[in-house]
Amino acid sequence: MGAVTANLRTFLMFAVLIGLFMAIGWLVGTFFIGDWVLGTLIFLVLAGLINFISYFYSSKIVLWTYKAKIVDEAQSPRLHRIVHGIISRNGLPMPKIAIVPSQNPNAFATGRNPKNAVVAATEGILRLLDDNELEGVLAHEMAHVRNRDILTMSVAATVAGAISFASRMAFYGSMFSGNDRNNGNFIVMLVAAITAPIAAMLLQLAISRSREYKADEEGARLIGKPLYLAKALEKLEAGSRQNPMKMGSPTSSSIFIVNPFNGGALVTLFSTHPPMAERVRRLKKLAKDMGQY
């Protein structure tokens, strides 16, 4: 059932991407090419190509974007030991382990399915958290793996980036097209440039917030210690503000356990992550229900 749900979410994202790209193609074709059919077809082909790449290569794109390096047990015994302890108690397949060269304290999981999963941790999180807190974080990521969120989240990051890129391309094309801005073309493309990235953020928001709550709870249940993750999340939020991510793009923020990028009011409004205070509150309530708090 989990695989069917994950595949349906992915299909819906692909459908949204195609729809948005066709709409942008129609705008470009109508106002700048003079042929709305040609513009729509060009962007439809682009959407199909991006969908193909997203499905088969989104995890590789994510790892490449953040310079994540796959490490074996000899290179990172601590990560391997903690992850192996989590999966040995829950019958999950052992994922590949990667380290991201960033002082931003964070972690994410990616891959097409549990058999091809990669769990990545930043250098910053390895320095900030003790073993118990790190176990809580890695259990959260393994919950994403078990729930097959990893493909959906990786594709969402790729799709959101593609939508933002397409809207910017259309906007810059309008600036240098040589057309008279008074005819409304510039205003139309400006609207497209603004609304398409917002649509991309809303797409990720719809996917990510509910999945994060569920992964928090299921990750805590995997190890039976909700307070491990609660303490880790509080540290990660503060640490991420002090050391924001200096590579990648906010369009991929949904894959991380906490948002690694600093942002203003608009970014906060469309945050892909639920409020940290509420995540911690739920975990403490779970610990109380389990007789641990």
Residue pair 91/113 in contact (Cβ under 8 Å)? The answer is no
What is the reported pLDDT for 191? 62
Residues 18, 21, 26: CA angle, nearest 5 degrees: 120
Measured in whole angstroms, the distance separating CA 10 from the mean position of its chain's CA atoms is 13
What is the reported pLDDT for 14? 78
pLDDT in tens, 251-276: 778 889 999 987 544 444 456 678 89
What is the reported pLDDT for 127? 97
What is the reported pLDDT for 265? 44
Taking only Cα atoms into account, the Rg of the chain, rounded to an integer number of angstroms, comes to 21
What is the reported pLDDT for 263? 56
Q: Which residues pair with 98 in a beta bridge?
A: 70, 120
Active site residue 141: yes
What is the reported pLDDT for 269? 47
Residues 64, 69, 73: CA angle, nearest 5 degrees: 155
Residue pair 47/21 in contact (Cβ under 8 Å)? The answer is yes
| Catalytic hit among 73, 133, 135, 141 | 141
What is the reported pLDDT for 24? 75
Residues 270, 142, 129: CA angle, nearest 5 degrees: 80
Nearest to 10 by CA among 140, 149, 161: 149
**Residues of the chain below pLDDT 50:** 180-182, 264-269
pTM, to two decimals? 0.80
Residues 110, 113, 117: CA angle, nearest 5 degrees: 40
pLDDT in tens, 19-55: 877 887 887 777 777 788 888 898 889 888 887 887 7
Nearest to 230 by CA among 278, 175, 173, 289: 278
CA atoms 267, 244, 252, 84: torsion sign: negative
Pull the structure tokens for residue 209: 């917030």
What is the reported pLDDT for 25? 80
What is the reported pLDDT for 181? 47
Measured in whole angstroms, the distance separating CA 213 from the mean position of its chain's CA atoms is 14
Q: Which DSSP state fits 96?
A: E
Residues 76, 79, 82: CA angle, nearest 5 degrees: 140
